[in-house]
Structure 1
Amino acid sequence: MGASVLISILITFLVIVLILWLVQRLPIEARIRQILQIIVIVIGIVSMLKYLAIF
């Protein structure tokens, strides 16, 4: 059971990194890019906390 949680957290982390990289590549203003990055990070943290049964 612990291994499946660890794998889920790892996959979530990799998806977050991939999305952040894709947001960085978008041709948009720096302010909008920064807001998108914050949103992705917050969603990723909430998702990881869900796997740890905190939420």
Structure 2
Amino acid sequence: MGSSTLISILITFLVVVLILWLTQRLPVDGRVRQIIQIVVIVVGIIALLRYLAVF
């Protein structure tokens, strides 16, 4: 159980980092890019907390 949780957390972290990197490459306004990054970070934190059994 512990190793599968660790792998899930690692995959979630890598996906969040990849999406944040991709949003930097989008040709959009800086304000929209900030909003997208905030949404991605919040969703990533919620997913990580779910894996840690907080929710």
Query: What TM-score range do you get, normalising by the shorter chain?
Result: over 0.9
Question: Equivalent pairs: percent with the same residue?
Answer: 71
Aligned residue pair count: 55
Match of 1:20 in 2: 20
1:1-55 → structure 2 map (5 Å cutoff)? 1-55=1-55
User: Once superposed, which parts of structure 1, at least 4 consecutive aligned residues long, lie more than 6 Å away?
Assistant: none
Aligned-partner Cα distance in 1 for 2:45–2:26: 22
Residue 37 (structure 1) shift: 0.2
Deviations 1:31-52 (A, max 9, x none): 0000000000000000000001
Aligned-partner Cα distance in 1 for 2:18–2:40: 10
Aligned-partner Cα distance in 2 for 1:45–1:6: 15
TM-score, structure 1 as length reference? 0.98
Aligned-partner Cα distance in 2 for 1:21–1:3: 27
Unmatched segments (≥5 aa) in structure 2: none
Aligned-partner Cα distance in 2 for 1:6–1:38: 24
